[in-house]
Amino acid sequence: MLTNHIHPSKAQIAQLKTYPQNTPITMLNILKFKAVTSTNEAGEEAYAHYFKNVAPFVVQAEAKLIWKGNVHTSIIGTIENQPDIAFLVEYPTINHFFGMISNPEYQKIAIDRSIALEYGGLIACETAQ
């Protein structure tokens, strides 16, 4: 179960840096919104701001949204704390991803992600051959 996870640890970033260069990477996002944020809006609403504002950075990183869907029912796992949404974003390489998240302009809007989420799982996936 994902709980209270929004930011990666230094160890997780170090592991991600070992990802094969020049290989596409797909990020699986598994998110649960806060009921009410510190800005007194619904987490889903706060995340919508982030999602809109991150779009130009995703384009600049040459990434693409592959799939997005609202969670209906957890068939295996806990229903009480199930995520609200899941989506896949593919980046041409790991350097494209790191370039995006290290951009100071991106970092200014990333606060909206933190404000909106109870947890924000991000799982780096390599296409299986």
pLDDT of residue 128: 85
Residues sharing a CB contact under 8 Å with residue 93, sequence separation 6 or more, in sequence order: 21, 22, 23, 24, 25
Contact status, residue 62 vs residue 97, Cβ threshold 8 Å: no
How far, in Å, CA of 19 to CA of 125, rounded?
Answer: 10
Which residues are 67's β-sheet partners?
A: 88
pTM higher than 0.75 for the full model?
yes
**CATH code 3.30.70.100 for 10-14+23-125:** yes
Give the three-state DSSP class for 30: strand
- Residue 80's pLDDT is what? 83
Gap between the Cα atoms of 61 and 48, Å rounded: 20
As given in the structure block, the two tokens for residue 119 are: 């947890």
Q: What is the pLDDT of residue 9?
A: 87
Nearest to 85 by CA among 39, 109, 50: 50
* Confidence at residue 3, expressed as pLDDT on a 0 to 100 scale: 57
pLDDT string in tens for the chain (129-residue length): 555 578 888 999 999 999 999 999 999 999 999 999 888 999 999 999 999 999 999 999 999 999 999 999 988 887 888 999 999 999 999 999 999 999 999 999 999 999 999 999 999 999 887
